[in-house]
Chains A and B, each alone.
Chain A
Amino acid sequence: MHVHDVVVMGAGSIGQPIALELALRGLNVAIIDRLSAPGRGQNRAAIGGMRATHSDPAKIEICTRSLDIVKRMESEHGLPVDWFQGGYLYPAYDPHTEHVLKSLLTTQQEAGLDIAWVDAETIYELVPGIVRNGLRGGNYSPGDGSTSPLKLSLAYSLLCRRAGVSYHMEREITGFRLAEDRIVRIDTSRDSFSCGTIIDATGAGARTIGAMLGLDIPVFPESHEAGITEPARRFFQPMVVDIRPGPDSANYYFYQNKENQVVFCLTPDPAIPGTDQDCTSAFLPQVTSRMMGIYPRLRNLRVRRTWRGLYPMTPDGFPIVGPAGYPENLWLAVGMCGQGFMLGPGLGQIMADIIADGSTAHQEILGQLKLQRDFSGEEKLK
């Protein structure tokens, strides 16, 4: 039996930052994961975008911290994570999109976010060659950017090990032993763990884990496909997000990463529920024609690889973060709705503030993201 102060279930985008921050505050932390290496669940499928410019207070706060951490990762720890501050750009080609985007700006600017409406000329400078016909302008947030999911996961693994976190990989959770409304033992396919606090960072697997405890954790995975091209000398700066719906798809987005490869992703419509992560033949023809529709210059760029990852969705599109209530020593950090990669670093700090330091500074976030909410709201802009 392994005995620890904290056991984090899930060595991914969320689990590792939480484990690190708790270990840095002196706790004895273990991570368990069913896969053979950290970040091999959905971290590896993340496309790498990171922005603070959300439209709700919780995600704004969490991601602002994430960006701050990631931007300093190389200078503070000597760990390159390929941060590139290219900004996020939401172009508008029709009055409706312009209206939607502008209506978001008020909240975002009130929250102190660096985002503003820019004209077509500015957009053309950021994305030379973007279709100008009908371009009305767009929202642009210069402080956002991208970072490498693989490298950030690697950095967290290294920092975690340095901070004394122990990794227990290739362990399937098989059950929990409870006593007096607390989890006293976690059984895995290989061994057992006992600890004071348990953190569920199992992403798309949260519902299964919840069922073992009699909890209804409303996390329903959907899948999105993504791709990456060959590298070419940098030819545009921001993450371009086209929020208009298209045939069989909702929004799509693409950016050029630090390695100068273009990474792209499309939101299927209707959504594809389930955990299938095998590539389909429909994705590439769909996404490439949409991208070339607004950025024809991409036509000569060669697609190198595609993959399919999971969006652990919740009914209202917001994560589930906070104490489960029952069992008393279980904390949830699940259902990141496809944004776990950008939420992870900040969430790690905030969870550690609360769990290790007993901070009460994050009541607003916990209030918004708690499990015990009615899930009837809706994310304004994914």
Chain B
Amino acid sequence: MHPVLEVPSGRPRACFHFDGKPMVGVDGEMVSSALVANGIRTFSIHRRGSSPQGIFCANGQCSQCTVVIDGHPRKSCVTALRDGMDIRTLRHLPHLPPDDRSFGGSRVETRTCQVLVIGGGPSGLTASLELARLGISVLLVDDKDHLGGKLLLQTHKFFGSIEDCHAGTRGIDIARILENELRTRTKVQVLTNASVVGIFKDRKAGVLINGDSYLLVDFQGLILASGARERSLIFPGNDLPGVYGAGAFQTLLNRDLVAPAKRVFIVGSGNVGLIAAYHALQAGICVSGIADILPEPSGYKVHASKIKRMGVPIYLGHTILCAEGEGRVERISIAQVDSDFNPLLDTAKTFLVDTLLVAVGLTPADEFHDTASDFGFPVVKAGDAAEIAEASSAMFGGRMAALQVARRLGLSVAEEPSFHEKMEVLSARPGPLHKLPAPVIGDDFQPVIHCDQEIPCDPCTSVCPVHAIELEGSNRNILDLPRYLGGCTGCAMCIAVCPGLAITLVRRLDRQKALVVLAHEYIPTFAPGDAVPLVNREGALLQHGTVQKIRRNKKYGTWLIHVQVPLEDAGAIAGIRIQDPSLVAPTPRAIPDFIPENGILCRCERITVGEVLEHIRKFQVEDANDLKQIRVGMGACGGKTCSVLLPRVFAMAGVDWSRVTRGTLRPLSVEVPMKAIANEDQRP
């Protein structure tokens, strides 16, 4: 059971075999999720070092989750499970099935559109809608089976403003709203399960559909709304099964409804890492901690505070040393860093966890942009492909990209200056912290606002039926902080809608006691009359309070917990701790086996950073393409995963990255079977 997501019952089952063992999954779910749900962590055995490999990106990018399905190697994270599948661990190299039926003939399929939109996430959806509004024909392609992109993983309520970007609504619901609107537009054709595999010089895009057919798209303009991919991180053990990208973890958890872990540790305290912790806790997974090399959390402070209130320690100024275990993650170690970010090994702490989430940021998946603009095609980036930011700003970015590309196609389209301004606000970095005044608690309900950092967010002001909350500050936009004006009716809409769970409702009961209403996004494990641990804004334990009432706000899917507390703490109480910190303490003695050069740089070919450094030094490498000589970037992913790590690696080798010639990216971006390219007619 999940506090936010509805787990559909009666989903059709699919029986399959894994390495000969019968297993059951859900028909149509991704094979990777079915395997994880059945406890499988090792998907392949790499030919270098016979090392076990697990799922890493769950996003069709990295190919580490390849298994052999009915004789064919396939990325399990983008292959739908079907009844009767024979799935096997890929051991070293696959055998090519001896399918010697004569060739059935080929067919080149071409489709024409004015604008090809790559990616059906928040920016791709809004871009397509805007283009359709302008009367421009659109082909929207997305490599997943449902539109929505990362919105589908976002069970939390959105920051931003209600008017502009559905703030306060959960991402999964926003995806549905946008898709429904899109499906009514005749100017828009949609292809799902479709990956753009290359942009070609003759102004065509190659699209692989359902893994088995190939379409050439003849376009005039291009919007690249292909999102971002997660940054990898180099440390020993970084390719052990159980090390995932945080986004991959969210995919398994929130899209596919499988819990891939019992205890996780998270590297990175940006919004992605913080939200991953929150999602893990919602799924009943213990979060042992979050480490960040920086001295402050990188994400919104309201997120970080929320996570701390739930009982997750955040280790600032700490780096990951290593992940270790027999064939999978069993323990991880972190250590404090010095001022040069080097680990201080005597500060090492070891945690017994089965999963390590890497949440060290995202990189735009924008390589087609460079190709297309080198070829001189009108191309505009939108969403994370343009700039890593919240989905709320991506929705504006999409609309702006649509106007831009329309203009580049020669249409006279007026600028919409407000779009730009709104997008800037929505993608603003968190601003300064403010000290909040201590509230004076009266006999009537009033909101106590624990929102102390300037972030682009305003739902609390919009939902209040009596307009008792307004934004106040120097920005004069939604970055300003909310302030209570008086007149609260106690309806609790503001606390139910707040994405940061940063508002409580408080009322004095008598001279000693007060009532506090808290937003709670976990399935309550307590009942009225029970005592619950209450914490202040930053998670410090204040009191145990007695639960009076448990309600659920259906519209926002949030529980509202009424707790009776001593009056003097009422204004400070900000949440209920749901994880006891003693359960997530490090082991008494740290036991890291830290050999930094063993970290894997190129996951596809399993090349360690040590091997790469040696090559760079030995051959005085100043051209990233030269790393192909030791097969870095020659694997299935084509360097998509490791290329972003190269600046650091060259720096480690003492080579100034600005002098290094960048690696060349060539099509195809995804491997395509020959029969698909030829659209082979295989009728018997």
Which residues of A come within 8 Å of B, CB atoms? 35-37, 40, 44, 128-129, 131, 133, 150-151, 153-154, 157-158, 169, 229-233, 235, 259-260, 276, 278-282, 284-285, 288-289, 291-293, 296-307
Which 8 residue pairs are nearest across A and B when measured between Cβ atoms?
Answer: A37-B623, A302-B671, A299-B675, A289-B106, A281-B200, A278-B201, A281-B204, A36-B661
> Is B176 an interface position by the 8 A CB rule?
no
Closest to A154 in B: B629
Name 28 A/B residue pairs within 8 A (Cβ), A-sorted: A36-B622, A37-B621, A37-B661, A44-B625, A44-B628, A131-B102, A151-B629, A158-B619, A232-B94, A233-B93, A233-B94, A279-B201, A280-B200, A281-B198, A281-B206, A281-B216, A285-B678, A288-B677, A289-B105, A289-B680, A297-B96, A297-B98, A299-B99, A300-B97, A301-B96, A301-B673, A303-B673, A304-B638
Question: Which residues in A have their C-beta under 8 angstroms from that of B206?
Answer: 281, 284
Are the CB atoms of B99 and A293 closer together than 8 Å? no
Residue of A nearest to B72 (CB): A300
Contact A230 B636 (CB under 8 A): yes
| Residues of B with C-beta under 8 A to A40 | 623, 625, 661
Rounded to whole Å, the gap between the CB of A7 and the closest CB of chain B is 20
B344 to chain A, nearest CB (A): 38
User: In the complex, what residue of chain B is closest to A227 when comparing beta carbons?
Assistant: B668
Q: Which of B101, B102, B667 has the most CB of A within 10 A?
A: B667
**B24 near A: Cβ within 8 Å?**
no
**A304 smallest CB distance to B (angstroms):** 5
- Tell me if B551 counts as interface (CB < 8 A to partner A): no
Q: Is the CB of A300 within 8 A of B675?
A: yes
Is B100 located at the chain interface by the 8 A CB criterion?
yes
Given A44-B625, A154-B619, A304 and B97 touching (CB < 8 A)?
no
- Closest Cβ of chain A to B100, distance in Å, is 4
Q: Are B622 and A288 in contact (CB under 8 A)?
A: no
CA distance A169 to B659 in the complex (A): 12
In whole angstroms, how far apart are the Cα atoms of A347 and B566 in the complex? 92
Is the C-beta of B591 less than 8 angstroms from some C-beta in chain A? no
Query: Chain B interface mostly helix, strand, loop or mixed?
Result: loop
A1 vs chain B, min Cβ distance (A): 23
Bound form: Cα–Cα A4–B638 in Å: 40
Return the chain A residue nearest B626 by Cβ. A37
Residues from chain B with a CB closer than 8 A to the CB of A157 are: 619
Nearest B-chain residue to A304, judged by Cβ: B671
> Are A280 and B202 also in contact (CB < 8 A) when A40-B625, A288-B106 are?
yes
List, in ascending order, chain A residues with CB within 8 A of B205's CB: 281
CB neighbours of B629 from chain A (8 A): 150-151, 153-154
Chain B interface residues toward A at CB < 8 A: 71-73, 93-103, 105-106, 108, 198, 200-202, 204-206, 214, 216, 374-375, 618-619, 621-623, 625-626, 628-629, 631, 636, 638, 661, 666-668, 671-675, 677-678, 680
Q: Given that A304-B671, A306-B668 are known contacts, is A296 also in contact with B677, CB under 8 Å in the complex?
A: no
Contact between A288 and B674 (Cβ–Cβ < 8 Å)? yes
Q: How far is the CA of A284 from the CA of B628 in the complex (A)?
A: 23
Taking a contact as CB atoms under 8 Å apart, the answer to whether B200 and A279 are in contact is yes
**Is the Cβ of B106 less than 8 Å from the Cβ of A285?**
yes
Given A158-B619, A302-B673, A306-B668, A278:B375 Cβ within 8 A: yes
Distance between A268 CB and nearest chain B CB, rounded to angstroms: 13
A304 to B93, CA, bound (A): 15
Q: B619: which A residues are within 8 A, CB to CB?
A: 154, 157-158
In the bound complex, do residue A280 and residue B201 qualify as a contact, i.e. CB atoms below 8 Å apart? yes
Judge whether A128 and B666 touch: CB under 8 Å.
no
**Contact present for A279 and B666 (CB under 8 Å):** yes
Residues of B within 8 A of A291 (CB): 674
* CB neighbours of B101 from chain A (8 A): 296
With a CB–CB cut-off of 8 A, which chain B residues contact A300?
71-72, 96-97, 99, 673-675
- Knowing A281-B206, A296-B103, A303-B668, the reply to whether A288 touches B96 (Cβ < 8 A) is no
Q: Which residues of chain B are near A278, meaning CB under 8 Å?
A: 200-201, 374-375
Whether A230 touches B671, Cβ cut-off 8 Å, given contacts A284-B206, A300-B72, is yes
Are A129 and B198 closer than 8 Å at their CB atoms?
no
Which residues of B sit under 8 angstroms from A288, Cβ to Cβ? 106, 674, 677-678
Contacts of A233 in B (CB 8 A): 93-96
A368 to B154, CA, bound (A): 71
Point out the residues of chain B lying under 8 angstroms from A303, CB to CB: 668, 671-674, 677
B671 in contact with A235 (CB, 8 Å): no
Q: In the complex, how many angstroms separate the beta carbon of A82 from the nearest chain B beta carbon?
A: 11
> B45 to nearest A CB, angstroms?
14
Chain B residues near A280: list those with CB within 8 A: 200-202
- Chain A residues in 8 Å Cβ range of B673: 299-303
**B582–chain A nearest beta-carbon distance, Å:** 49
Nearest Cβ in chain A — how far from B456, in angstroms?
Answer: 41
Q: Which residues of A contact B638 (CB under 8 A)?
A: 304-305
A259 to B636, CA, bound (A): 13
Measured CA separation A35–B101 after assembly (Å): 46
Which chain A residues border B374 with CB–CB below 8 Å? 278
Contacts of B628 in A (CB 8 A): 44, 150
* Bound-state Cα–Cα, A109 to B95, Å: 37
Nearest CB on A from B304, distance (A)? 42
Which residues in A have their C-beta under 8 angstroms from that of B93? 231-233, 260
Identity of the chain A residue whose Cβ is nearest the Cβ of B631 in the assembled complex: A259
Interface centre among A154, A157, A282, A304 (most CB of B within 10 A): A304
Residue with the highest number of chain B CB atoms closer than 10 Å, among A36, A133, A153: A36
A235 contacts B106, CB within 8 Å? no
Closest to A292 in B: B103
- Which residues of B have CB within 8 Å of A306? 198, 666-668
Q: How far is the CB of B681 from chain A (nearest CB, A)?
A: 11
A sample of 14 more A-B contacts (CB under 8 A), given A230-B73, A300-B675, A303-B674, is: A150-B629, A154-B619, A259-B631, A278-B201, A279-B666, A281-B202, A284-B206, A297-B98, A300-B72, A300-B99, A301-B673, A302-B672, A304-B638, A306-B198
Please indicate the chain A residues that have their CB under 8 angstroms from the CB of B672 in the complex: 284, 302-303
A298 to B667, CA, bound (A): 19
List residues of chain A with CB within 8 A of the CB of B674: 229, 288, 291-292, 298-303
Is the Cβ of B675 less than 8 Å from the Cβ of A304? Answer: no
Indicate if the CB atoms of A297 and B667 lie closer than 8 Å.
no
A297 lies within 8 A of B102 (CB)? no
Given A157-B619, A301-B673, A305-B638, the answer on whether A292 and B96 have CB atoms closer than 8 Å is: no
* Nearest-Cβ distance from residue B285 to partner chain A, whole angstroms: 35
A128 and B201 form a contact (CB under 8 A): no
User: In the complex, which residues of chain B have a beta carbon less than 8 angstroms from the beta carbon of A231?
Assistant: 93
- Nearest residue, chain A, Cβ from B203: A281
Contacting pair B201 A276 (CB below 8 A): yes
